[in-house]
Amino acid sequence: MAGPILQAKDLVRTYEVRQGMFGRPSPVRAVDGISLTIMPGETLGIVGESGSGKSTLGRMLLGIDPAQAGEIAFDGQAMPKLGTPQWRALRAKMQLVYQDPLAALDRRLTISAQIAEPLAIHGLVPLEHRQTRVAELMSAVGLRPDQADRYPHELSGGQRQRAVIARALASRPKLLVCDEPVSALDVSIQAQVVNMLRDLQEENHIAMVFISHDLKVVRNIADRVAVMYLGRIVEEASSDVIFQSPLHPYTRALVSSVPVPGRPLKGRTILQGEPPNPANRPSGCAFHPRCPMATDICRTTAPPLRAISADRTAACHLVADSAEPVAA
């Protein structure tokens, strides 16, 4: 069996953030000791409230935001330093799609010119075959041939995001990091773009990190889900396990907030309060001020992320090792 396409160990990223206009800068641990493994062709969903560190983690996995501590290996090789020729060469194999396609595209270039760009930059397709490859990519993402000479502002939001995805696929990446790729699109278009992404990813056997605050979308696309709270993973398991039997109280509240046809609103767990200021991390389990199950130990001791079963890790004092049978 092939090894992981990406392996991250104990990643840390701290920003100095000023509290108020005249406040002194204080450190915010946006990513606080995260480890994860992504297999070829697998989709890992990353969920959590705003400010939990999802986007920072996504950028770190591509080496765009360098880790201050920890290690990343891409396809078995240590991630080269940002901006080096080795990193640029690797960049063709790992692509980022983010929320705002208009910001990702160059307003002065036609769609076909932008899709052709990576083919030229990475010397992937000889000039005489480039237009054919651009046409293939446009067709793969559902853009019409007559849209090739359009400029980004002449397309709809959904079409622009399709163009961004075509450009990301041009270099035949092994890993795609999608950071809220559909949250700026009309709800009616979101499902089309997500389904298209899933089909293309499966056809091309691309691993994907899919970052979203929208659990419905993540449920639709992810094989596995990591739940983040204040820079740490608090639970990770297969998508079915996370959505059908969440164990961590934070995961339970997030999953419970997803409307399910036929499930009464009564009985849902409501997530209390707002996420704490990351510059002032609560003691012990960072979730304790909002957790309905918190006990004394939760206020003083941070629960480690540990294996609960063969297919699940969780960080909570109250989740027993015996919550599920552990495979030998």
Q: How many CA atoms lie within 13 A of 21 on its CB side?
A: 0
The single residue among 285, 305, 308, 313 that binds ligand SF4, judged by CB under 6 A, is 285
- Shortest distance (Å) from residue 13 CB to ligand ATP: 8
Is the CB of 98 or the CB of 287 nearer to ligand SF4? 287
In this chain, which of 291, 305, 308, 312 binds ligand SF4, going by CB under 6 A?
Answer: 291
Residue 153 one-letter amino acid: H
- Residue in 45, 158, 246, 278 binding ligand ATP, rule: CB under 6 A: 278
Pairing of strands 224-229, 232-238: antiparallel
CA neighbor of 47 nearest in space, from 253, 282, 284, 293: 253
Backbone angles phi, psi at 188, to 5 degrees: -65, -25
Q: Can residue 50 be called a binding residue for ligand ATP (CB under 6 A)?
A: yes
> How many separate helices (H) and strands (E) can be counted in the chain?
11, 12
> E strand or H helix at 249, and its extent?
helix 249-256
Q: Is 212 in the site for ligand ATP (CB under 6 A)?
A: no
Helix (H, G, I), strand (E, B) or coil at 37: strand
303 binds, among ligand SF4, ligand ATP, none (CB under 5 to 8 A by kind): ligand SF4
Backbone angles phi, psi at 237, to 5 degrees: -165, 180
Q: Quote the least distance from Cβ 251 to ligand SF4, whole Å.
A: 9
- The pattern of x and - marking residues 230 through 249 that bind ligand SF4 according to CB under 6 A reads ------------------xx
Alpha-carbon span 240 to 272, nearest angstrom: 25
Which is nearer to ligand SF4, 13 or 317 (by Cβ)?
317
Q: What mask, x for binding ligand ATP by CB under 6 A, covers residues 10 to 29? A: -----x-x----------x-
Per partner kind, with CB cut-offs from 5 to 8 A, the member of ligand ATP, ligand SF4, none near residue 50 is ligand ATP
